Chains A and B, each alone.
Chain A
Amino acid sequence: MPDEMTASALLRRLGETLATLVVASLVVYLLVDLLPGDAASMYLGKDGVVDPAALERLRKEFGLDRPVITRYVDWVWGVLRGDLGRSFVSEMPVTDLLAPRLNNTLVLLGITLAIMLPLSIIAGVVSAVRSGSTLDVATQTFTLAVASMPSFVLGIGLVVVFAFLWPVLPAVSLSLSPSTVVLPVAVMVLGWMPFPTRMIRAGVINALRSPYAEMALLKGLPRRRRLVSHVLPNAIVPGVHAFALTAASMPAGVVVVEYLFGFQGVGVLLIDSVRARDTPTVQSLTLILVAFYLFANAVSDAATTLLTPRLRVR
Chain B
Amino acid sequence: MIAYGCLGILFLFIVIKIAVYFHRQKKAPTPEDIDETLLEIANPRGDRA
Same complex: no
B interface residue numbers (CB < 8 A to A): none
A interface residue numbers (CB < 8 A to B): none
